[in-house]
Amino acid sequence: MQIPDDAQDISALDQSVGSVPTMPTDAMAEWGASEKKSSESRDAASPPDGQMAAENVSRIHGYKNYTASGPISYCGQAATATLWDYWGFDPGYCGGRQVPDPHFPSGPLFWNDVIAVDAIRQRFPNDVGGMSPARLMDAVKSVGLQVSWGWGPHHGIGSIAKYVQNSVPIPTVCLLKWGQGIETLHWVVVFAIDNGQVWFTNPAMTEGVGNPNDSYQLGQEKWRVAGLPFADFENRWSWTGLTKTHIVAWKT
């Protein structure tokens, strides 16, 4: 489908965060081999419609901002865990991958949300009531990932489409708002743009957008994700001082 985009949007992205990162051949081969193994174990549970969102969600496990105290403001740490896990990194202190995804019981194992998020926040605590972009990037790159970011009103859906629609999808962290105050800002990981919607992990808990105890319907299966129409996503992605903030991370 046609993605809203324009030359100014893409050129601005190129200036602020660079062109789409490319993987070295050996890294690409490694990713492809692990993805083939992962996909083979998940095919039976994957939605049959073949849409990008359905395909990409089978590649990513969205961690939620659970801690021992409940779903407090640790969405940045949850996004960090999601990116680490997607790219196959394990810092060694997230408790070991012992939990199956309920939708892929015979697939890969994952960290326990509470243990992983608590472990990350001990090393990368919130610095502004939540995680600032700088703190989140420090956390993400601590395992060896490359990171870059962009922000500003000149960005749009096209600024993240070029990443998540790459031949090797590059999940992109975006800062959304669920209300008027800074306390309503929430980090999510965008993994697909499809069917007129932007799809992301770890939906927030208010305004009917999502509840961390629930899943959203995608294709024929349920996942720990949500999708928002372009206009709604753009509105929630706009906040004074941090409008259209997005962070990309990739493996070299």
Listed by start position, the domains of the chain span 8-16+48-250
pLDDT at position 214 is 43
The proportion of the chain whose per-residue pLDDT surpasses 90, expressed as a percent, equals 42
Q: Is the pLDDT of residue 201 over 50?
A: yes
- Kindly tell me the burial class for residue 69, based on how many C-beta atoms sit within 10 Å of its own C-beta (0-12, 13-18, 19 or more): exposed
Yes or no: domain 8-16+48-250 corresponds to CATH 3.90.70.10: yes
Task: Give the Cα separation of 5 and 168 in Å (integer).
Answer: 20
pLDDT in tens, 31-78: 344 433 333 333 333 332 336 776 777 788 889 887 666 556 899 999
Q: Which amino acid type is present at position 192?
A: A
Distances (CA, A) of 55 to 4, 6, 51, 199: 21, 26, 6, 12
| 3 state SS of 10 | helix
Task: Give the Cα separation of 185 and 18 in Å (integer).
Answer: 26
